[in-house]
Chain A
Amino acid sequence: MEIKGIFKLENKSWVLGSVIVAILVLLPILFLIRGLLKIEESDLVYLLNTILLEYTLNTFYLIFITSLFSLFFGILPAWYVSKYKFAGRSFFDLTLYLPLAIPSYIMAFTYSDILSFTGPIQSFLRTHFNSISNIFNKDYLQIEVLGVVLALALYPYIYSASRISFSLIGVNYVNLSKNLGLSKIKSFFKIFLPLSKPAILSGLFLVIMEVLNEYGAVKYFGVNTYTSGIFRAWFSMNNIGTAIQLSIILLIVVLSLFYLEKLINVKSKFSYSVNSKRQNLRNLKETKLFLVYIVCSIPVFFGFFIPLGFIINNVILTYFKIDFNQLFELVSNSIKVSTIASILIIIIALLFLFIEKITKNKINHIISQLISLGYALPGAVIGLSLILMATSFNDIFSSLSIMGSIYLLIYAYIIRFLAVGKSPIKSSLDKHPDSYTDTAKNLGLSPIMQLKEIYLPINKFALITAFIVTFIDLMKELPITLILRPFNFDTLGTQTYEYAIEEMIPLSSIYSLSIIIISTVMLLFLKNIINKQINVPRG
């Protein structure tokens, strides 16, 4: 009976189409798993006996620190900016997102330089306050420092999620808390925080994923994480099989994390839209004002303005060395690949989610979960899986040179970042009741018309948001570009990295500055859109 049920589908051609696209997206991962079956000898046991435990514990510790600080940097400012009126509020509202524009490896390089013995802080202390300068003369390349630096780069994920959530919680809940006689602090912990839990958790999930995939910053700080273990097996020990095994284990762990997040979120699912009027911003007491400024300034200044100032200073120092022709070429390369890949990602993500919505069958539900798998793998492993795939195809069609083409690079981008583009669209789609689809069906609209007339317009903002978020992530992307790019193809990210690992941070600055400027402009657009969403008049 059940089998029969599966074959009795509505919109067969759509389902079929989505299955085909899903197979294309998942194909490289299948090749990775095929690689797993061909392993001859594995060093997994050896690694387990020597370094893997330490690496894993390091990873957990790093995730813990980064999560803790990201939550601290993200939630409180979001709360104050969403609920209170104070001078400079709109400034903070605008700038608290901006650290997202700075790639985490640039953040790490910058801070290690600022804090180092030859950096500005210690030099200043030595020349002016020589007596106390020794107190600050420490080794700052520690896992704890790294955790905080990563938190500075990643907290915007939590900030943006909680900012939207806090703003959307309407006046009814505020009144409720007042009626219950809860103090402001209590109502924050008892009502607003639990209500925003799904949003905050999804932000935290992104932070954890980013930490897991972090490579450059982690390596520089000498902190060995699980991902370093994968690369150790692959590069240093030259055992690709072990690297694949480790990646698959990581994949399983992330999948369970993913599942856990969903489990928690399903329990506390509720709909904002039934909520009533928007709440007006409250005034702040003078005594509290100081605290608010501190809480909002720390992430903004340490996460954005200080690194930016440092980078600009470096650019000025090396101004005469800048090759503007090359810079222009790199900027255009970066923008082009990022734009094309983001557009494709959004089209594919929308396709899957839309089909899931209109068909409501299990296959599509599973598919739309599975296509996020790529996000759980480190970029270089995706690169590896595509190399494995492309070369197997090369054996069959020897004339098709897929390897080392721009198409393969974009393909890899899609696999890796589909989940990033999917999540804003999904959360937007989830807000609309299923009755939309039913009504549309009753009106006799074909699926393509439904997409065109209903889903595209009502999800317009979500689509733009998804585009910007993926675009920025792609601008910052490094490992995939390094391993899969065609001849003579550089992006801003790769050029920054090349100078940075050769310890020529000042020379890399103009390229990182370009990444930051482009991403900042996009983020300001995004901010504009989010404001429109938050300020939408509701009954």
Chain B
Amino acid sequence: MTIKVSIVEFISFFFFDCDQTEMVIKNNTDPSNIFFIIIFLNVFLDYICSNIKLIYIQSKLKIMKKIFYSLLVCLLVSCNGEKKSDEVNLYSQRHYSVDKLQYENFEKLTGIKVNVIKANADELIERLKNEGKNSPADLFVTVDAGKLYKAYDMGLLQKISSDVINSNVSEKLKDKNGFWIPITYRARILVYSNERVTKDELSTYEDLVDKKWKGRILVRSSSNAYNQALMSSIVANNGAEASIEWSKGMVNNFARDPKGSDRDQVKAIAAGQGDIAVVNSYYIGLLLSSKKQEELNAGKAVTVFFPNQGENQRGSHINISGIGLAKNSPNKQNAIKLMEYLTSETGQKTYVDNSYEYPANPAVNPSEIVKSWGEFKIDELDLNMLGEYRDQAIRIFDQTGWK
């Protein structure tokens, strides 16, 4: 029995390098630690009991054991896991290498350790919701304003009040309610084949349903959040009925069933399977900086086009990568510090240097490749609408057969 317990101890303390155990060792308040102490002491006392033959001592020891138990149970119940240390916990949908770099830089600068759990946004929301007031999460990081709205709508976020962040980020990208902040943004744009399409043939998202594009449009599946956001923006701008018609028209003009990633759509243009693709801007940057000659060629076979730029038109659809402050954030001060850092010029510069997204801080310029596409007018729709109309957008996809 003794051996078995020490195995458990061994596993929990030395086997996993994950931070849960580090926390345990650092400030002995983690309840799971106490759980092991109970087992260990129990076995230890049992061992003494069985080895000491004197009945008197045995009975004394038994009483001691009882006292130990009750003490430990009290400890266990009273301990609410109040950990006060220099850390901030992130639930993040972003998992680019630039994020890791950011967190390392932040830790070097402030000494605050950034802990991250990366998963799908909806799964993280589910986890956040169920954990309720016991949630260790401070910040919720996503690549879609719709998910931030969803978290806000479910009451999982709290208001962020920081003048620093307020002055850092662009007015157009802000949440009107103040529950989340943007860190970068990207446009969902069109790319067209240099060989088969000329620039003046293109104009707006709405124009894509025109008969001339029959069998020429490439786009990924409707289960993708970026497409759902695009459809939500169209519902918000044009209304449900027009959106249904638009979706039907798009489906009619598809070159093939929606599938693959954004980059695959560009490759499909290069392969001649279609002529126009709806993709996120930074994927073109990734293709153009690819080490593989063939991918580079695919990137060069197309040109970027920002739709809806004309006068009286609303601008190209954008979406943000953003952060919400969890309602029950245990390390709120640190969390705000991290957000301030990420939106600061240093933080924003790191994003721009390592990815092809647009910075949320207007004082910082995007990377060279991104700059070469030129400036564009963004759709100034309240980004919360991307979440508000999400459900409707999905139903439209389903009704109109956009797979």
Q: Which stretch from A258-266, A291-299, A392-400 is at the chain B interface?
A: A392-400
Residues of B at the A interface (CB closer than 8 Å) are 11-12, 15-21, 30-32, 35, 76-81, 89, 95-96, 115-120, 122-123, 126-127, 130-132, 134, 136, 150, 220-221, 223, 228, 256-264, 267-268, 270-273, 283, 286, 291-292, 294-295, 297-298, 390-391, 394-395, 398-399, 403
Q: Which stretch from A459-467, A482-490, A511-519 is at the chain B interface?
A: A482-490
Question: Once the chains bind, are A387 and B292 in contact (CB under 8 Å)?
Answer: no
Contact A405/B20 with A219-B223, A222-B260 known, Cβ cut-off 8 Å: yes
Question: Once the chains bind, are A224 and B298 in contact (CB under 8 Å)?
Answer: no
Secondary structure at chain B's binding surface: helix, strand, loop or mixed?
helix
Contact A238/B258 with A380-B123, A383-B123, A502-B95 known, Cβ cut-off 8 Å: no
Hey, which chain A residues are within 8 Å of B262, CB to CB?
A: 503
A486–B123 Cα distance when bound, in Å, is 14
Question: Once the chains bind, are A336 and B294 in contact (CB under 8 Å)?
Answer: no
Flag whether A315 is at the interface (Cβ < 8 A). no
A485–B80 Cα distance when bound, in Å, is 22
Q: Give the contacting residue for A238; candidates B20, B150, B398; CB below 8 A.
A: B150
Contact A487/B131 with A51-B398, A220-B260 known, Cβ cut-off 8 Å: no
Q: Which of A105-136 contact B (CB under 8 A)?
A: 112, 116-119, 122-123
Q: How far is the CB of B26 from chain A (nearest CB, A)?
A: 14
A284–B80 Cα distance when bound, in Å, is 73
A494–B127 Cα distance when bound, in Å, is 18
Contact A139/B256 with A235-B122, A401-B31, A406-B16 known, Cβ cut-off 8 Å: yes
Question: Once the chains bind, are A404 and B258 in contact (CB under 8 Å)?
Answer: no
Q: Which residue of A lies closest to B80 (CB)?
A: A399
Question: Once the chains bind, are B126 and A240 in contact (CB under 8 Å)?
Answer: yes
Question: Once the chains bind, are B130 and A387 in contact (CB under 8 Å)?
Answer: yes
Q: Give the contacting residue for A487; candidates B32, B89, B221, B292; CB below 8 A.
A: B89
Q: Give the contacting residue for B19; candidates A317, A399, A486, A494; CB below 8 A.
A: A486
Contact A403/B131 with A237-B391, A238-B391 known, Cβ cut-off 8 Å: yes
Question: Once the chains bind, are B127 and A224 in contact (CB under 8 Å)?
Answer: no
Question: Once the chains bind, are B117 and A398 in contact (CB under 8 Å)?
Answer: no
Contact A118/B297 with A222-B257, A222-B403, A487-B18 known, Cβ cut-off 8 Å: yes
Q: Give the contacting residue for B126; candidates A117, A329, A387; CB below 8 A.
A: A387
Q: How far is the CB of A393 from chain B (nearest CB, A)?
A: 10
Q: Give the contacting residue for B17; candidates A122, A332, A398, A403; CB below 8 A.
A: A332
Hey, which chain A residues are within 8 Å of B395, CB to CB?
A: 46
Q: How far is the CB of A376 from chain B (nearest CB, A)?
A: 20
Q: How far is the CB of A469 from chain B (nearest CB, A)?
A: 22
Q: How far is the CB of B8 from chain A (nearest CB, A)?
A: 10
A308–B341 Cα distance when bound, in Å, is 42
Q: How far is the CB of A147 from chain B (nearest CB, A)?
A: 15
Q: Give the contacting residue for B228; candidates A116, A223, A236; CB below 8 A.
A: A236
Question: Once the chains bind, are A503 and B273 in contact (CB under 8 Å)?
Answer: no
Question: Once the chains bind, are B270 and A336 in contact (CB under 8 Å)?
Answer: no
Question: Once the chains bind, are B17 and A391 in contact (CB under 8 Å)?
Answer: no
A390–B134 Cα distance when bound, in Å, is 11
Question: Once the chains bind, are A487 and B294 in contact (CB under 8 Å)?
Answer: no
Q: Which residue of B lies closest to A109 (CB)?
A: B261
Question: Once the chains bind, are B20 and A487 in contact (CB under 8 Å)?
Answer: yes
Q: How far is the CB of A105 from chain B (nearest CB, A)?
A: 13
Q: Give the contacting residue for B294; candidates A123, A387, A488; CB below 8 A.
A: A123
Hey, which chain A residues are within 8 Å of B134, CB to CB?
A: 391, 394, 398, 401, 403
Q: List 15 A-B contacts (CB under 8 A).
A: A112-B264, A117-B271, A222-B259, A232-B223, A235-B122, A236-B228, A340-B15, A404-B131, A404-B136, A406-B16, A406-B18, A483-B123, A487-B18, A490-B118, A502-B96
A490–B19 Cα distance when bound, in Å, is 11
Question: Once the chains bind, are B130 and A117 in contact (CB under 8 Å)?
Answer: no
Q: Give the contacting residue for B120; candidates A112, A235, A406; CB below 8 A.
A: A235
Hey, which chain B residues are within 8 Å of A394, CB to CB?
A: 131-132, 134
> Quick one: which of B76, B77, B119 has the most chain A CB within 10 A?
B119
Hey, which chain B residues are within 8 Å of A333, CB to CB?
A: 16-18
Hey, which chain B residues are within 8 Å of A18, CB to CB?
A: none
Known: A336-B15, A399-B80, A503-B286. 6 other contacts (CB 8 A): A340-B11, A398-B80, A482-B118, A483-B120, A486-B18, A503-B262
Hey, which chain B residues are within 8 Å of A116, CB to CB?
A: 264, 267, 271
Q: Which residue of B lies closest to A497 (CB)?
A: B95
A41–B272 Cα distance when bound, in Å, is 46
Question: Once the chains bind, are B76 and A391 in contact (CB under 8 Å)?
Answer: no
Top 4 A-B residue pairs of the complex, sorted by shortest distance between their CB atoms? A222-B259, A117-B271, A487-B115, A118-B294
Flag whether A86 is at the interface (Cβ < 8 A). no
A318–B89 Cα distance when bound, in Å, is 31
Question: Once the chains bind, are A384 and B126 in contact (CB under 8 Å)?
Answer: yes
Contact A50/B130 with A238-B150, A401-B81 known, Cβ cut-off 8 Å: no
Q: How far is the CB of B271 from chain A (nearest CB, A)?
A: 3
Binary contact track A305-332/B, C-beta < 8 Å → 1, others 0? 0000000000001100000000001001
